[in-house]
Amino acid sequence: MTPSALSRRALLGAGLTLPLLKFARAAEAPFRIVMTGQALLQHALSAAQWPAASKFAALFKGADMVFTDLETAIKGPRSSTAMRNDQFLHAAGPEIIDVLMRAGFDTFATSNNHAYDFAEGGILDAIAALDERGLTHAGTGPDLATAAAPALKQTPHGTAALVSAAAGAVAKGGMAGPGHPGVNELRRAESGALNEEDVGRYLDVIENASQNADVTIAYLHQHYWEKNMADTPAWQKALAHKAVDAGATIFVCHGPPLLHGVEIYKGKAILHDLGGFFFQTVTKPGHYPNDVWQSVAVDCRCTKAGIASMAFTPVQMNDTGLGGASDMETRGMPDIATGEAGTGILERLAALSAPYGTKMKIANGRAELVLS
């Protein structure tokens, strides 16, 4: 990231507005934004190991923004001793980012419960790796103002903004502060509700971003799960509505590694949970339910006014590696689901979305949002 870009992000995070230079564009030309489940990727897979990368690259080609959450702590020269040393330490070198780029990803949330797994040095190493590759990212930073600030991406259709935060399971001391690298964290108060100051900061930045950008994506990675992780918490639904009210075009969430429903609220999209895209966990087979290995890629066309169209492509991850259950290097790799398996994923997403009044039409291997 250039010094001028860093300054812009820090100032915006502090609540200051800045004029943005925009590409010339048609007045109502929609953005095309692709979003997937979170990327828990721990091995630098070759093209031969993950041939489906080319399928996703073709599917995502031409999008203004291709987004996921970087669920892996990046190890680099500043990374210190790991903050956790169990099966839930998810870490890899920066070369995994290249694997995701091969599939077309160019925009990343870095706010999650693993971002601080290598403490401050790991935060800075991940940021450096993304900046060296010229990628858009938000959610962590050398201080809270920068971690909270929107990442801005100039596209042929105008300016897109990403505001990113995490709630729950962030390692102790992992929240960014003045002069302290870390995560833009929404903490939980003693009452059980989210910290009002943290929520206020998140919503203020969304509002500011929406005044400076043509479309704004509000992202949350949350680990304040319900007893049944398939249930979307009431507080999350309320926060999603507040984010849209503040100016978000899309609110998207990860956390529980499961699909949750899709809601259209005031013409804007709320993706309550997109589950996983990569899920390279070393947990024993059967640790997670079968639905954890299924998700969707969302292809959204939108303007500042709201959602113009939204299509969903089913994704299937392999729950055992190519070499069997002990092969963790090639476990949890995504491919486009086809046939009855793909239809089943889409039908489940439609059923999860129906309580919100959301309707979908399933045909030709994908689901399309039915807008009234």
Q: Are 268 and 306 in contact (CB under 8 A)?
A: yes
Of the pLDDT bands very low, low, confident and very high (cuts 50, 70, 90), residue 13 is: very low
pLDDT at 274 over 60: yes
205 Cβ contact list (under 8 Å, min separation 6): 12, 13, 15, 148, 149, 150, 163
**Hunting for tokens 């979307």 — which residue is that?**
232
Q: What is the pLDDT of residue 163?
A: 98
Of the pLDDT bands very low, low, confident and very high (cuts 50, 70, 90), residue 88 is: low
∠ CA 36-232-227, nearest 5°, is: 115
**Hunting for tokens 């589950």 — which residue is that?**
275
pLDDT at 75 over 60: yes
Highest mean pLDDT among 67-81, 84-98, 269-283: 269-283
pLDDT at 205 over 90: yes
pLDDT at 90 over 90: no
Between residues 159 and 77, which one has the greater pLDDT?
A: 159
Q: What is the pLDDT of residue 11?
A: 45
pLDDT at 83 over 90: no
Name the CATH code of domain 28-329+354-370 (choices 3.30.70.870, 3.40.50.740, 3.60.21.10, 3.10.20.440).
3.60.21.10
Q: What is the pLDDT of residue 24?
A: 46
* pLDDT tens track for 103-127: 999 999 999 999 998 889 999 999 9
* pLDDT tens track for 335-369: 999 999 999 999 999 999 999 999 999 999 999 99
What is the C-alpha separation between 238 and 222, in angstroms, rounded?
A: 14
What is the C-alpha separation between 360 and 277, in angstroms, rounded?
A: 21
Average of per-residue pLDDT across 317-334: 93
Can you state the angle between helices 196-212 and 234-246, rounded to 10 degrees? 40
- Alpha-carbon distances of 200 from 5, 153, 234, rounded to whole Å: 24, 24, 18
Q: Which residues of 256-283 are buried (b: 16+ CB within 10 A; e: fewer)?
A: bbbbbbbbbbeebbbbbbbbbbbbbbee
Q: What is the pLDDT of residue 28?
A: 65
Q: What is the pLDDT of residue 54?
A: 98
Of the pLDDT bands very low, low, confident and very high (cuts 50, 70, 90), residue 86 is: low
Answer yes or no: pTM beyond 0.95.
no
Query: For the chain, what are the domain ranges?
Result: 28-329+354-370
pLDDT at 214 over 90: yes
